[in-house]
Amino acid sequence: MDFSTLCIHGNIEKYDNTGAVSVPIFQSATFAHPGVGESTGFDYTRQQNPTREHLENVIKKLEGGVDAIAFATGMAAISAVMELFSPGDHIIASDDLYGGSHRLFHHISMKNGIGFDLVNTSELSLLEGLIRPNTKALFVETPTNPMMQVTDIAAVAEIAKKHQLLLIVDNTFLTPYYQQPLKLGADIVIHSGTKYLGGHNDTLAGFTVVNDEEIAERLRFIYKTTGACLSPFDSWLLIRGIKTLPIRMDKQQENAEKIANWLCEQEKITAVHYVGLPTHEGYEISKRQATGSGGMISFEVDSEETAKHILEGVSIIQYAESLGGVETLITYPMLQTHGDIPEEEREAKGINNRLLRLSVGIESAQDLIAELARVIKGE
């Protein structure tokens, strides 16, 4: 089956016999047993629920894994993955990470005895140079948030195999529609399902997908024990969102390409970071490992004043955190997603008071560009 068919028919299990075309929301915390020691396959919703299982089966198919788990949020998924490690273990991660992952690593995982080194994972020799005897995993985001650095997943997977490390890839920005890290050699894929997979800025969700039975079993144990499971209703919203994933992302990408090209021609725009621009540093690698560039653009304006004018002047575009939904959102990474990162570290990465990030939605590109033109002028 083709990807877009799997988005709709990826789960073949049937949970009722009414013929319902949309999977029911099984809003039940617990399930009655038919007899002593017997189960319908469902016992208690923290462990599994039919609506959530439907969703997990779809995600598993889309990423090409042996198991997918649906969490309450993306951070819950990443936290569960961190439970695979023990005090004394060392992890190497991208230095341009989602702010929440940075906060988790530095304020919780480190307290639990896990050590981290952050590096630009697109520089393979730097990455390999940081591997120590106690290194257990590589944690990569590609493209990164918000600087859009691209890491060669297959090349990093080779390094991971050579040193027997787990390769964990946060695939939130491109989703399996454009990029499938497991097929490139990754061991664990993570998603914030809140973003493109849900796609409507109306719910939070997270996923882990793995292609190894043993890791799957360990994650399932952590999941049922710690309990950050996705509710039946939110599972249903995700199921509905995923049905239109390909058409939404195609439109978002088409809009993003138009906007990125337009931004490049504007006098007050001093830099445009979009993976789909041939001038982008990671363009060639991205072409090789992904089938699309997505809908995320970061750009730098000439002054803090222009940045503020844009953020306060937009109306169709909304000044709000998050990304991947049908509504176009603009964020100020310095104050929002990356507000907790030490200033020096943040500035060194280019996340300064002139950097803005745009998550392009499915509105008309013409309307979005007209609005950007107006607010860039300061009107």
Residues with a catalytic annotation lie at 46, 98, 170, 195
As given in the structure block, the two tokens for residue 163 are: 């040193």
Which residue stretch of 68-76, 248-256, 273-281, 366-374 sits at the interface with ligand PLP (rule: CB under 6 A)? 68-76
Which residue stretch of 3-11, 33-41, 70-78, 281-289 sits at the interface with ligand PLP (rule: CB under 6 A)? 70-78
Site residues for ligand PLP, window 327-366 (CB under 6 A)?
none
Which residue stretch of 20-28, 71-79, 85-93, 262-270 sits at the interface with ligand PLP (rule: CB under 6 A)? 71-79
Contact between 282 and ligand PLP per CB under 6 A? no
Q: Which of 170, 187, 234, 371 binds ligand PLP (CB under 6 A)?
A: 170
| C-alpha span between 116 and 36 (Å, rounded) | 48
Which residue stretch of 120-128, 189-197, 243-251, 360-368 sits at the interface with ligand PLP (rule: CB under 6 A)? 189-197
Please tell me whether the peptide bond between 232 and the residue prior to it is cis, using omega within 30 degrees of 0: no
| C-alpha span between 112 and 164 (Å, rounded) | 22
Contact between 194 and ligand PLP per CB under 6 A? yes
As given in the structure block, the two tokens for residue 290 are: 């992904």
CB crowding 45-74: b at 16 or more within 10 Å, else e: beebbbbbbbbbbbbbbbbebebbbbbbbb
Please tell me whether the peptide bond between 146 and the residue prior to it is cis, using omega within 30 degrees of 0: yes
Q: Which is nearer to ligand PLP, 309 or 346 (CB)?
A: 346
As given in the structure block, the two tokens for residue 362 are: 């499915």
Distances (CA, A) of 279 to 80, 122, 214, 283: 38, 16, 42, 7
In the stretch 137-166, what mask flags binding to ligand PLP with x, by CB under 6 A? ----x---x---------------------
As given in the structure block, the two tokens for residue 62 are: 């889309």
Q: Which of 82, 204, 249, 256 binds ligand PLP (CB under 6 A)?
A: 204
The separation between CA 349 and the C-alpha centre of its own chain, rounded to angstroms, equals 20
Site residues for ligand PLP, window 74-93 (CB under 6 A)?
74-75
CB of 321 to ligand PLP, least distance (A): 9
Q: Which of 45, 49, 109, 192 binds ligand PLP (CB under 6 A)?
A: 192
Q: Which of 172, 201, 252, 253 binds ligand PLP (CB under 6 A)?
A: 172
How many Cβ atoms from other residues are within 10 Å of residue 139's Cβ? 24
Which residue stretch of 35-43, 188-196, 229-237, 244-252 sits at the interface with ligand PLP (rule: CB under 6 A)? 188-196
| C-alpha span between 83 and 226 (Å, rounded) | 10
Q: Which is nearer to ligand PLP, 192 or 293 (CB)?
A: 192
What 3-state DSSP class applies to 339?
coil
In the stretch 88-117, what mask flags binding to ligand PLP with x, by CB under 6 A? ----------x-xx----------------
Is the separation of the CB atoms in 80 and 222 below 8 Å? yes
Distances (CA, A) of 298 to 54, 142, 274, 330, 349: 35, 14, 7, 9, 13
Interacting residues with ligand PLP (CB under 6 A): 73-75, 98, 100-101, 141, 145, 170, 172, 192, 194-195, 204, 206
